Amino acid sequence: MEKTVSEAIAYRRAVRIYKDQPIDPEIVKQCLKNATLAATSSNLQLWEFYHITNKDLISKIARLCFNQNAAKTAQQLVVVLSRKDLWPKRAKANIDWVNSQYEGMEVSEKGLKRKKMALNYYGKLIPITYSDFLGIFGWLKYIFFWCVGLFRPIYRQVRSNDLRIVAHKSAGLAAQNFMISMAAKGYDTCPMEGSDTLRVKRLLKLPFRAEINMIISCGVRDEKGIYGPRFRVPFEEVYHHLD
């Protein structure tokens, strides 16, 4: 029986050792579809997922993950990519989708305003925000927005590295959707940051501008797969209620 959201969150742990037990790649694929429903900045969906089931390839990637147990014993792997470079393609996809919503129908004045706002957002504001040349345009935008920000609230994350962080945050949200979905199905995962990402990119022939957000190992937990009880700092240290 599939777990509830709360049950799946409580069940999910970073599993370091998996049983030598196959898992269904179609279930993993469905969980990756759930990943694509995650919240994402400006709905740009600047992510990709490489689902690896080939045992030889898993073994090669495990070596590039420094032979940590979570990689060596994995039944399958998912490589989560951040793709900031795809913003023009994703912006156009949003423009096409907005236009498709208004085809063949009478639109109210309010609807036309909403359509124009969306088209301006993806056709003008997103290109201004994401366009850059050797970091120079990013710094010019940053200085300009900083000056404007002296007088009113304004968006300030406009440098290339700022937008890299934005894209990685969205990819991380998608990865969490995936891991919770796997837990709901009774499967286990471990998000791994320890890897030689350059060699992994070369091995998988990933695009030059793609960035590895994390590698997630997948399987069914061995009884020794969780290294200890879950530790979290007291909730009171991280929770701040402003009334």
User: What CATH number is associated with residue 166?
Assistant: 3.40.109.10
Residue 203 has pLDDT above 90, yes or no: yes
Q: What is the pLDDT of residues 77-90, one digit of tens each?
A: 999 999 999 999 99
Q: Is residue 10 part of a domain?
A: yes
Q: What is the pLDDT of residues 59-79, one digit of tens each?
A: 999 999 999 999 999 999 999
Q: Is residue 235 part of a domain?
A: no
Same domain as 146, residue 133: yes
32-46, 87-101, 148-162, range with the lowest pLDDT: 148-162
Mean pLDDT of 85-108: 92
Q: Is residue 242 part of a domain?
A: no
Containing domain of residue 106, as a range? 87-155
Classify strands 188-192 and 47-52 as parallel, antiparallel or unpaired. Answer: unpaired
Same domain as 167, residue 70: yes
- pTM: predicted TM-score of the whole model, two decimal places: 0.94
Same domain as 100, residue 28: no
Q: What is the dihedral of CA 103, 130, 34, 67, to 10 degrees?
A: 150
C-alpha 101: how far from its chain's center? 27
Same domain as 133, residue 96: yes
Average model confidence (pLDDT) across the chain: 95
Same domain as 92, residue 142: yes
CA distance 197 to 201: 6
Q: How many domains does the chain have?
A: 2
Quick count: other Cβ atoms within 10 Å of Cβ 12? Answer: 20
